[in-house]
């Protein structure tokens, strides 16, 4: 199996209000089709790590490789393009563009990538929505659907460009257990059927236990790695 | 650029979601541009009317013989007194002929000059208008009607009859409106004038002339060149004034200097004669542009404000766009294109508003003694103003949109997403 994501000695400092090391020489890797969760107490740096891995935060030491490419030191423009193509995002809060339709929300990253025609993208988007069982909501405004549905739309959006990896920052943190299970099952299927790698930051131990591997963090370091597979 | 379509799509959706604010911002531009168009069309229309009032009928160069004292007195020629302080009391003007010496060859040579649009001779004759037992002071100018019409818009000031009637009738006269009024004369009547040599000449009134300057209309009348020469008992060589119209008014000063130098005549250029008009025009233009630019700046602040507020509202959306792969430049373009759409639509509406109101103004009645041929307000429909208006609208909204857009470009999505 090939390595999708690799972090080498990633460190980060917060300079305000006082110099403080959030991440201390983090090194780990994720393989293709692996479903990994990161756990840890608030403030241990797990979200900070995720934002570095997601290329949105570029202010760190160490090196980061994703899908075989070294991302450290690339320009913001190149990283945006890379993010668009290779990384899918799911956040704790649903983060849809509320003025657009559900379908448009899903289509936007693909339209930005511009690799396919608008027709094809629309068909793909409907397909992804169908996988998540919400194709009937496609033409509603994003602000008009329920929280669980929104999260599934966000997942459909994360999938639209067939990314190398999906990252989630507590994607179930804001959902009831039924919806959380739903989201987990979707992730699991993607990981098993589509060989998609997933990296999910979570507080939810039940959720984490069902993943292939748990990376436990504390005080900016990896303090343990448990495997359930 | 495939990107462009999707960016435009996002910005129009954002605009439509805040249709009220967007409309208000656009109306600010509409108001600014509309006012600019109205102001500038009306002002320049009025300007050219006022300028035309004087400048169109004023020759660019007027050549005549002025009565003046000799610059060089005999005592100055005597070498013995050259170093002394010579004071001559009670100098009288030099006896000089009014006619321009060798006028016809001079006219010919002026006509050949390529800077000159046209030349027309005039003969001034002092007369008395005779009405019963009263005699009114008068000044009759002999003119070449055709030249006057095409060079100096002479027909604009004929309120009754037509200049062509003068051409057909060699005993005809175009009587000043003031004279006609005082003497209760109308077109078709006859009037007798007494020449300076004492002869009485009957003339037929073929038209009434009104310049709008009462002093002038009370004395001035026009006859054919030949008739004026007859009135003062001179032959056809007698010319008292030569009026020159140039293609380019800026040549007036150097040409008049050259003429007065060469021919020992007085040549008065239009700039010296009417210096205040150019100043007035320049100041009126300055005021017009200052007011319009102020209005556009106010509209610009409106757009700046609304976009700024918009960006604060849309922080989350900006973060999502960036997280899903839109670059800072894309986000900046989203907001700049919003500003430009507001500017373009607002500006376009402003042009329509400006044009509409200008048309209304140009149909509003405006009648004044001073301007006999003007019935409605003068408005200048120069397409250039509309081009300037659109350029103004787009550039000011671009500037107003650029700063907020740059702020949006620099938003760090991590901060927004973590801040929740």
**Residue in B317, B322, B325 closest to A97 by CB:** B317
Chain B residues within an 8 Å CB radius of A95:
316, 319-320, 323, 417
Q: What is the ipTM of this complex?
A: 0.85
User: How far is C-alpha B115 from the chain's CA centre?
Assistant: 21
> Phi/psi at B98 (nearest 5 deg)?
-75, -35
Q: What is residue B206's predicted lDDT score, i.e. its pLDDT? A: 92
Name the one residue in this structure whose structure tokens are 């460009």.
A161
Q: Which region among A39-48, B49-58, B315-324 has the lowest average model confidence (pLDDT)?
A: B49-58
Q: What is the pLDDT of residues B152-201, one digit of tens each?
A: 888 878 888 888 888 888 889 999 988 888 888 888 888 889 988 888 88
For residue B384, count other CB atoms closer than 10 A to its CB: 10
Residue B52 has pLDDT above 80, yes or no: no
Is A112 within 8 Å of B316 when comparing Cβ atoms? no
Is A114 within 8 Å of B2 when comparing Cβ atoms? yes
CB-based contact, A47 to chain B, within 8 Å: yes
Q: What is residue B354's predicted lDDT score, i.e. its pLDDT? A: 92
Contact map slice: A 116-175 vs B, CB within 8 A: 157, 161, 169
> Phi/psi at B254 (nearest 5 deg)?
-65, -35
The ranges assigned to domains in chain B are 2-55+277-419, 61-68+97-270
Q: Report yes or no: A64 and A51 within 8 Å, Cβ to Cβ.
A: no
Residue B238 has pLDDT above 80, yes or no: yes
B267 forms beta bridges with: B63
Mean pLDDT (chain B) is 84
Chain B residues within an 8 Å CB radius of A161:
325
Distance between CA A137 and CA B355 in Å, rounded?
Answer: 48
Q: What is residue B351's predicted lDDT score, i.e. its pLDDT? A: 92
Is B323 within 8 Å of A83 when comparing Cβ atoms? yes
What pTM did the predictor assign? 0.70
Q: What is residue B360's predicted lDDT score, i.e. its pLDDT? A: 92
Is A99 within 8 Å of B14 when comparing Cβ atoms? yes
CB-based contact, B325 to chain A, within 8 Å: yes
CA A166 to each of CA A79, A161, B297, B348: distance values in angstroms, whole numbers, following the listed order: 16, 11, 48, 47
Look at B371 and A19; give whichever has higher pLDDT.
A19
Q: What is residue B366's predicted lDDT score, i.e. its pLDDT? A: 82
Q: What is the pLDDT of residues B84-102, one digit of tens each?
A: 888 888 888 877 777 888 8
Contact map slice: B 2-31 vs A, CB within 8 A: 2-3, 5-6, 9-10, 13-14, 16-17
Distance between CA B189 and CA B203 in Å, rounded?
Answer: 9
> DSSP string covering B101-158, please?
TTHHHHHHHHHH-TTEEEEEEEEEEEEEEEETTEEEEEEEEEE-HHHHHHHH-GGGGE
Distance between CA B284 and CA A149 in Å, rounded?
Answer: 64
Angle (nearest 5°) at CA A124 between A179 and A207: 25
Is B6 within 8 Å of A51 when comparing Cβ atoms? no
Q: What is residue B84's predicted lDDT score, i.e. its pLDDT? A: 81
Closest CA to A64 of A37, A26, A23, A15: A26
CB-based contact, B330 to chain A, within 8 Å: yes
Distance between CA B227 and CA B400 in Å, rounded?
Answer: 69
First to last CA, chain B: 35
For residue A174, count other CB atoms closer than 10 A to its CB: 17
Mean pLDDT, consecutive 10-residue segments, chain A of 229 residues?
80 82 84 86 82 84 84 83 86 79 88 85 87 83 84 86 86 79 85 86 83 85 75
Q: What is the mean pLDDT of residues B363-383?
A: 79
Identify the structural domains of chain A with CATH numbers, from first to last. Answer: 3-227 (3.40.50.300)
Residue B51 has pLDDT above 90, yes or no: no
Q: What is the pLDDT of residues B258-280, one digit of tens each?
A: 888 888 888 888 877 777 767 77
For chain B, what percent of residues have pLDDT higher than 90?
A: 7
Is A109 within 8 Å of B417 when comparing Cβ atoms? no
Distance between CA A186 and CA A179 in Å, rounded?
Answer: 11
Q: What is residue B372's predicted lDDT score, i.e. its pLDDT? A: 65
**Count of positions (residues) in chain B:** 420
Distance between CA A38 and CA A217 in Å, rounded?
Answer: 7
Q: What is residue A1's predicted lDDT score, i.e. its pLDDT? A: 59
Helix and strand counts by DSSP (H, E) for chain A: 7, 10
Name the one residue in this structure whose structure tokens are 């996988």.
A131
């Amino acid at each position: 199996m090939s390595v999708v994501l690799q972090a080498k000695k990633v460190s980060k400092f917060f300079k305000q209000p006082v110099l403080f090391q959030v991440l201390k020489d983090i090194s780990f890797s994720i393989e293709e089709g692996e479903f990994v969760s990161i756990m840890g107490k608030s403030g241990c740096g797990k979200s900070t790590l995720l934002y570095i891995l997601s290329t949105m935060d570029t202010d760190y030491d160490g090196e980061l490789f994703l899908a075989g490419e070294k991302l450290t030191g690339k320009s913001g423009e190149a990283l945006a393009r890379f993010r668009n193509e290779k990384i899918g995002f799911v956040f704790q809060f649903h983060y849809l563009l509320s003025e657009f339709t559900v379908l448009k929300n899903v289509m936007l990253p693909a339209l930005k990538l511009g690799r396919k025609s608008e027709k094809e993208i629309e068909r793909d988007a409907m397909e992804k929505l169908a996988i998540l069982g919400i194709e009937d909501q496609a033409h509603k405004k994003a602000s008009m659907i329920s929280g669980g549905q929104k999260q599934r739309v966000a997942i459909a959006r994360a999938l639209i460009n067939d990314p190398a990896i999906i990252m989630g920052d507590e994607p179930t943190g804001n959902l009831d257990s039924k919806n959380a299970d739903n989201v987990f099952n979707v992730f699991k299927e993607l990981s098993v059927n589509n060989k998609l790698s997933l990296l999910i930051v979570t507080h939810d131990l039940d959720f984490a236990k069902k993943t292939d591997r748990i990376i436990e963090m504390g005080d900016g370091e990896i303090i343990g790695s448990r495997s359930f597979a | 650029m495939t990107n462009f379509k999707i960016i435009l799509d996002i910005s129009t959706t954002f605009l439509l979601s805040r249709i009220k604010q967007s409309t208000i911002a656009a109306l600010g531009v509409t108001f600014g541009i509309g006012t600019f168009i109205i102001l500038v069309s009306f002002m320049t229309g009025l300007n050219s009317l006022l300028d035309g009032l004087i400048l169109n009928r004023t020759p660019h160069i007027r050549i005549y013989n002025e009565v003046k004292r000799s610059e060089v007195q005999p005592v100055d020629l005597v070498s013995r007194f050259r170093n002394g302080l010579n004071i001559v009391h009670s100098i009288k003007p030099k006896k000089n002929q009014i006619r321009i010496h060798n006028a016809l060859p001079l006219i010919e040579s002026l006509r050949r000059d390529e800077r000159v649009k046209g030349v027309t001779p005039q003969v001034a004759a002092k007369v008395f208008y005779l009405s019963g037992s009263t005699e009114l002071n008068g000044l009759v100018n002999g003119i070449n009607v055709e030249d006057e019409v095409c060079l100096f818009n002479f027909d604009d000031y004929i309120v009754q009859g037509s200049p062509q009637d003068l051409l057909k009738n060699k005993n005809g006269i175009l009587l000043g409106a003031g004279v006609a009024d005082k003497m209760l004369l109308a077109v078709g009547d006859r009037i007798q004038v007494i020449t300076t040599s004492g002869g009485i000449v009957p003339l037929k009134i073929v038209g009434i002339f009104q310049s709008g300057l009462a002093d002038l209309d009370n004395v001035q009348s026009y006859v054919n060149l030949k008739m004026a020469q007859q009135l003062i008992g001179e032959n056809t060589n007698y010319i008292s004034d030569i009026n020159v119209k140039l293609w380019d008014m800026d040549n007036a000063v150097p040409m008049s200097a050259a003429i007065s130098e060469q021919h020992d005549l007085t040549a008065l250029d239009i700039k010296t004669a009417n210096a205040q008009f150019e100043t007035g025009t320049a100041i009126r233009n300055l005021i017009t542009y200052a007011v319009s630019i102020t209005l556009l700046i106010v509209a610009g602040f409106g757009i700046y404000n609304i976009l700024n507020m918009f960006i604060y509202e849309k922080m989350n959306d900006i973060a999502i766009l960036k997280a899903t792969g839109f670059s800072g430049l894309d986000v900046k373009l989203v907001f700049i294109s919003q500003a430009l759409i507001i500017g373009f639509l607002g500006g376009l509406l402003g042009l329509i508003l400006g044009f509409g109101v200008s048309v209304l103004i140009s149909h509003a009645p405006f009648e004044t003694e001073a301007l006999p041929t003007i019935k409605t307000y003068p408005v200048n429909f120069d397409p250039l103003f509309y081009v300037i208006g659109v350029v103004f609208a787009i550039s000011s909204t671009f500037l107003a949109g650029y700063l907020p857009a740059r702020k949006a470009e620099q938003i760090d999505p991590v901060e927004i997403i973590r801040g929740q």
